[in-house]
């Protein structure tokens, strides 16, 4: 620890010691930049660097979380996230034998996904923990339903497994590329990176509708195993195999949401995976170039 005197000493009071306080070593005078150190204003600093995460070590982060001067675990959007996890567990419990309870619990869990983001903005309680909790909950909830669908429709098991693999890999690589480039959120995507991802993440209406239709399609596939009562629509295509008169509600809504589900899982996730891969490769190239320059400088 360094004892650092605070305040100037005037000639009339030079015989008295100035007030002192004990500061940790990192706050000693030698650790602060001198007056000759050039500083950038907020206007001069690039947007990405202004939003870059605060550098903190793992041990210090654990100490801060343990001290809990501000309990991030109990932020309102994070509490909503815990409720989502509980409801997802309830839906898994009823999934194999009670479709009504399962659908209600699963549907409410998915709808709360939109509420936690609203609460985070309304109460100024956005957090990195909450962002990761939200994404992990989304991935795990959908994957659990897809695992059940793999057993309910074994002929399409490989397709469901491919959807899970692409969904996890694309979101993980996108999240990681956001972290290594200093982005404050994985949803902060510029149009220069991808117009598709920019429109998907920056339009809350689009994000909600796409995610809603995606989950609706999988829920309808689940309910198709339990419902056989037709809606009673007229047969619009009497001379074809598409007998609309026998359509059930789950089948009808599955047909309506299928294009959006296909777009999200095939197009958006593929673009997300490819763009994140290119960003990580670009970071690797920049780091390797910097390492070569440092080795050349030391060799001189």
End-to-end CA distance of the chain: 39
Q: What is the pLDDT of residue 12?
A: 45
pLDDT higher than threshold 70 for residue 160: yes
Give the torsion through C-alpha atoms of 126, 127, 132, 138, to 10 deg. -20
pLDDT reading at 138 higher than 50: yes
Distance CA 273, CA 282 (A): 14
What CATH number has the domain bearing residue 123?
A: 1.20.120
Q: Which residues are catalytic?
A: 138
Cα torsion angle, 179, 181, 185, 191, sign: negative
pLDDT of residue 137: 97
190-234 residue pLDDT tens: 999 999 999 999 999 999 999 999 999 999 999 999 998 898 877
Q: Are 84 and 137 in contact (CB under 8 A)?
A: yes
- 129 HSE (CA, 13 A, CB side): 15
Judge whether 138 lies within some domain.
Answer: yes
pTM exceeds 0.85: no
Range in 27-41, 55-69, 229-243 the model is least confident about: 27-41
- Predicted local distance difference test score (pLDDT) of residue 62: 81
Nearest to 187 by CA among 164, 162, 166, 211: 211
Who has greater pLDDT, 226 or 29?
A: 226
Q: Is residue 163 part of a domain?
A: yes
| Distance, C-alpha 23 to centroid of its chain | 38
In a domain, 107, yes or no: yes
Going by pLDDT thresholds of 50, 70 and 90, the confidence category of residue 185 is confident
pLDDT at 40 over 60: no
Please state, as a whole number, how many other Cβ atoms lie within 10 Å of the Cβ of residue 209: 12
How many domains is the chain partitioned into structurally? 1
Whether 108 maps to a domain, the answer reads: yes
Instruction: Write out the DSSP string of 89-144.
Output: HHHHHHTTT-HHHHHHHHHHHHHHHHHHHHHHHHTT---HHHHHHHHHHHHHHHHH
Position 234 in a domain: yes
66-119 pLDDT, tens per residue?
776 789 999 999 999 999 999 999 999 999 999 999 999 999 999 999 999 999
In a domain, 250, yes or no: yes
The chain-wide mean pLDDT, for the chain, equals 85
Percentage of the chain exceeding pLDDT 90: 66
Does residue 16 or residue 179 have the better pLDDT? 179
Lowest mean pLDDT, pick from 49-58, 210-219, 246-255: 49-58
Q: Do 130 and 120 contact (CB within 8 A), yes or no?
A: yes
Is residue 204 in a domain?
Answer: yes
> Which domain, by its residues, includes 128?
74-270
Least confident piece of the model among 59-63, 145-149, 171-175? 59-63
Q: Is residue 170 part of a domain?
A: yes
Q: What percent of the chain has pLDDT over 70?
A: 79
pLDDT of 3: 45
> What torsion do the CA atoms of 88, 217, 117, 198 make, to the nearest 10 degrees?
140
Range of 12-21, 61-70, 104-113 with top mean pLDDT:
104-113
Smallest CA-to-CA distance from 255 within 225, 209, 211, 224 is with 224
């Amino acid at each position: 620890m360094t004892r650092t005197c605070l305040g100037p000493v005037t000639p009339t009071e030079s015989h008295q010691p100035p007030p002192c306080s004990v500061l940790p070593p990192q706050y000693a005078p030698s650790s602060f930049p001198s007056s000759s150190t050039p500083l950038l204003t907020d206007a001069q600093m690039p947007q990405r660097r202004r939003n870059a995460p605060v550098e903190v070590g793992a041990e210090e982060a654990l100490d801060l979380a343990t001290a809990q001067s501000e309990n991030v675990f109990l932020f309102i959007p994070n509490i909503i996230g815990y409720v989502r996890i509980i409801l997802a567990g309830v839906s898994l419990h009823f999934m194999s034998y009670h479709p009504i309870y399962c659908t209600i619990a699963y549907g409410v869990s998915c709808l709360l996904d939109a509420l936690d983001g609203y609460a985070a903005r309304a109460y100024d309680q956005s957090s990195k923990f909450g962002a990761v909790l939200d994404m992990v909950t989304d991935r795990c909830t959908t994957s659990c339903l897809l695992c059940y669908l793999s057993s309910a429709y074994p002929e399409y098991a490989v397709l469901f497994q491919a959807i899970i693999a692409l969904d996890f890999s694309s979101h993980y690589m996108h999240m990681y590329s956001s972290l290594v480039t200093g982005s404050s959120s994985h949803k902060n995507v510029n149009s220069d990176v991808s117009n598709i991802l920019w429109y998907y993440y920056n339009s809350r209406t689009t994000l909600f509708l796409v995610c809603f239709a995606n989950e609706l399609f999988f829920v309808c596939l689940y309910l198709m195993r339990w419902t056989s009562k037709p809606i009673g629509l007229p047969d619009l295509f009497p001379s074809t195999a598409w007998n609309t008169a026998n359509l059930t509600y789950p089948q009808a809504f599955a047909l309506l949401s299928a294009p959006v589900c296909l777009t999200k899982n095939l197009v958006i996730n593929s673009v997300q995976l490819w763009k994140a891969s290119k960003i990580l490769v670009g970071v690797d190239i920049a780091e390797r170039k910097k390492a070569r320059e440092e080795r050349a400088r030391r060799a001189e």
